[in-house]
Structure formats: C-alpha cells, structure tokens
Amino acid sequence: MEADFDSSIKSRPLYQAISINDKAIFSLFVVEAGQDSNLQALYQFCDTQKAIITLPLTELSDSSLKGFERTICPDVLSVAFANLPMSAQLYVSGSEAFLWDVHKLAVQAGLLAEQIRLSQPTTPARRVFCTHCYNQMENVLHTPVECSGCGLPLLVRDHFSRRLGAYVGLNINAEDKTELPAREALK
Amino acid sequence: MRVAPKPIQTFRDDFSYTNSSDAIKRFPFPFPDDTYRYSVNIEPHLPKEGKGSAYEFFYDVDEHYLSEMAERDLVLRKRPSSCLMLPHMDLACWDLIDVSMTHLAKDYPEYFTLAKNDDQWCWENKLLKIKDEFVFGDSSSLPMPPMEYIGRQVQGDLVLMDQRDQNLFMDAGILTCPADWSLAFDVGMSFAEWHGPVPFVHSEGIIERALKFLISIPQGQATRRLNWTLTVNPRMDVSPETYPEWGPDRLTVTPDNIAEKVFLRVELQVFDRMPRSNALMMNIRTYLMNMQDLVTNPVWAKRLYHVMKTLPPELVEYKGLTRYHPMLVDWLAKYQK
C-alpha cells in the first residue's frame, strides 16, 4: 500500500487511492494544515480507535537548514508515535514534502512501511534540492526555477529522494549561459 | 606490466594527467562488440590478462595512485559531503577497512603492511607515508571517520550498500570522481531509486536482474563489471555539484583538439560482500584515456567507431555527449575498416 514507483523515472513515487485498514486497532491521521484533504472524510468513516493531527509543513522542516537531515519532529507527533499500539495504521495527507517528512519520522519512531499510507499529494508543488549549494526550496511550482540559495536557474527533474522529500534541481544552462528554456508548470 | 606510482599529475586546471605506454596497454577497454547495449555484464573478480593487468588484484594500484589521492584530498576539502555515511553503517565501514587493508597488504607488500595483534592493528602505507596504530572497530582511534580514512588510500570511489528487505540501500560512500551523480542527494536510496534517471534499464528488466544477482553475492566471491562514458578533459570530478565548472568544457571540443580533449572514461566496478555487516561494497575505479592514445590500438579504434556510430540517441543524451558526438563519429570514421 506504500507508494510505488513511477514507470519512467523510478525514483518518483506513485500514490494509490487511500483506503482504511479496518484490521488496525488504532488509526492515526496526520494532515497538513491549509491543504485540501480527503482524510477528514475518511476519518469520519473510520470505525477503529482514532486520532487526527493537523500540522503545517513548517513545523516539520526548517528551511534555513542546508544539511542533509533537516526534518524535526514536533512534540505532538513524537508523543503520538510513541503511544501507538503495535497494529496501528498511519494515514498521511498533504504536499509531497509533508508526506515524506512524516514518513521518515514514523519510520524513525519504529513504524513499518506497511503501517504507513500516503495519500495522493494535495498539490503539484515540490520541495527542490539544489545539487550545487544544497539549498532546499519549498513550494516550487515551475521549472526552471531560480535557486534561492545560489541564484542558478535549476531544471527540476523527476528524480526524487524519499529521505529528503525533495526533487533534484540541476543548473539548466551550465554548458551555455545563453540558453534558458521557457518556464513550465510542474505536474 | 605494473607501473609504479608516478609523481602527482592534475585532473583539473592545467590537466597535466597523462597515460604512459604501459598504462595504455593495460587500459580496461569496455566494448566486447561493435554495438553497445546495456547488459548485466558481470563476471567473477578473478585475475585475467596476466601479470600487471588491471584485473590482477582486488584493487588495481597503478601509476596514477598519487595523483588520484591528491585529487581526492582537493575534492574532500572543497566538498566534505563527498564522504557520507548514515549512522547504522559504522560496522560496514570497519569491514571495508579490514577487506581493503588485507587485500592491499597481501597484493602490494612493497607499498602496504598490516600487522594485527587482536584488535590492535598497525597499518603502514609507504606511498602516502602513513603509519597508524588503531583499535579495530573503534572509530575514535582513527584520525578521521573510517570511511574517509580508507577512502583516502584506495583509488576509485567506494560505496557501501546496506542489504535489507531484499533490496540494497546506498547508505555510505566516498565519492570524489562520480560520473555525474550526487552522493548528497542519492544517499539512503534503494537500488532502483538511485538508478531512477537511467534510460532503458527499468523497462528492460535490467535493474531487477542486477539487484537479484547482487543481493545473492556471497562472501569471498567478489564480482566485477565495466561501465563507461566520455569526459571532456581528464577531469575526475564530474559531479552534478560542479557541473557549472565543467559543463562549458563540452563546447570547447573542435575537430582539431578532439583527439587530445575527449576521454573515454571507464569504470571498473567491483562488488564484494562484507564479512560482519553483510553490506555490499562497490569500488568504482575510474580510468581515463583520450582518443589519441586509444587509437594507437587499431582494434579499439575500429570498435570505438562502430560503437559510437550505433549508439542509441537516448544514451547519447543521457551520457551528455550530444554536443560533440557527431564530431567524434566523423573523427573516428577513418578507423572504420
């Protein structure tokens, strides 16, 4: 039930429609604040013991960090994960960066991959990792995008790191500075 | 024949790197046929082609040893993220130290010695004038993290893959001469994930077959394969991080300089099972040779023409050859018969 691979770029996750695991003893829903989510509806219909937590992405990640481990666990999530029974099921909804930040925290807390269900991202907006200066940008909607760290125009590729929750950005006109393709919306 | 390490040459700036005539003879030429297609071209890592060949020993220490170690130092100083390990990989790094030092001391006793007294080890590298005593398994007894310590003494990049869930995860590495992939971005990825951008290999089932093969490699049965691309100038560090520095080189190739400027870049990749951690190590040993030196061998010259001529457009693009590939085919055409 965990995200599968895209068939063209294998590192890009594919998401399936989310459904309730009614064999779980407890269901925890984690929803990104401010994003349209179908999890509230699923939460209403879920018959197991349950809880729902709504968080903004900014509480999970510190965009001032250029390091490799940038996710921080808010108290509310660490308490919730620590108190989950063995057969708990986690459902996550939000932007793709939010999904994988929560996924990483859940795995660190000891959940198994099959206990985590990620909903289709609620927005095409991506987190982008600049391969040149290691800056990470949230909410990128277009390619190329100017890196807010080093200023280079970056091609946003479909190559995705689940650990970083980010797509890779690569200087699009490194070979010839005069070449700068038109901006396209990301899908 | 095996050539002793020569004084330091550069892989940047003035590009003083050269191959001796002996280095040309022992170059691991990667094309067995006139057309190139992906395959799982894996064979046991056993000696072949006689004394002094690139395949004689576990690690090939050749005339470029000092140059490559100096280049590694330059990259690590500029980009410390070229050496990364996730926290659970400490034991695998010590495995790598054990395996590397044991092979080097046995294969090149004139350069390396290893003395063990239980956990008290004494290692000497005469080429780099290093002599250290340390407690095996105790990372605080080394002057730097174990991956960096051994990586600074072995030619070629090193990767340690953790094996779990019937998969391999690239959880540690030292990567200062990558052919355009970023350890900082890819560290922690599964086997299929980090090969995500490679064309053909997914639809043709190559990734699945390669993974099945690699996870079943037992201890003591190292295997190898060759991979290749082309690089403009003898530049070892063609990482995505430094693409703005080397990308413009691709526009500098002309019919007049193509023989000296375009290098066949061959990776001799060796895979070996680590004894304690069950991690799979990979040594990616990079050889560079320009067209001028390659065509001194008429068999290679002819084959290279046919390989380049028939290379699928997707691979021309993926390997970054688009800007000078037609020029190279034209230049090689005189060797086609």
Model confidence over A95-152: pLDDT tens digits?
A: 999 999 999 999 989 999 999 999 999 999 999 999 999 999 999 999 999 999 999 9
Question: Of B193, B233, B252, which to mutate for an interface test with A (greatest number of A Cβ within 10 Å)?
Answer: B193
Average pLDDT over residues B182-201: 86
Q: Do A131 and B185 touch (CB under 8 A)?
A: yes
Contacts of A106 (CB under 8 A, 6+ apart): A81, A90, A115, A116
For chain A, the first-to-last Cα distance in angstroms comes to 23
Q: Which of A64-73, A143-152, B96-105, B210-219 has the lowest mean pLDDT?
A: A64-73
Residue A82 backbone dihedrals phi, psi, to 5 degrees: -65, -30
Q: Do B247 and A175 touch (CB under 8 A)?
A: yes
B-chain residues near A2 (CB < 8 A): none
Q: Which helix (H) or strand (E) holds B224?
A: strand B223-232
pLDDT for residue A65:
47
Q: What is the pTM of this model?
A: 0.92
Catalytic residue among B2, B79, B209, B225: B225
Residue B64 backbone dihedrals phi, psi, to 5 degrees: -95, 5
Number of A:B CB contacts under 8 A?
76
pLDDT for residue A35:
86
pLDDT for residue A2:
46
Question: Of A133, A152, A161, which to mutate for an interface test with B (greatest number of B Cβ within 10 Å)?
Answer: A161
Q: Are B243 and A174 in contact, with CB atoms under 8 Å apart?
A: yes
Query: pLDDT band at B35, cuts 50/70/90?
Result: confident
Which among A38, A32, A80, A40 is positioned nearest to A56, based on CA atoms? A32
d(CA B28, CA B118): 39
Q: Is B225 a catalytic residue?
A: yes
d(CA B195, CA B170): 11
pLDDT for residue B3:
73
pLDDT for residue A175:
95
Average pLDDT over residues A140-166: 95
| pLDDT, tens digit, 9 for 90 and up, residues A6-57 | 555 668 898 988 889 989 999 999 999 988 887 888 999 999 999 999 999 8
B-chain residues near A10 (CB < 8 A): 192-193, 195-196, 202, 207
| Residues 244-303 in B contacting A (C-alpha not used; CB under 8 Å) | 244, 247-248, 250-251
CA distances from A146 to A151, A153, A171, A175, B182 (A): 6, 4, 9, 17, 20
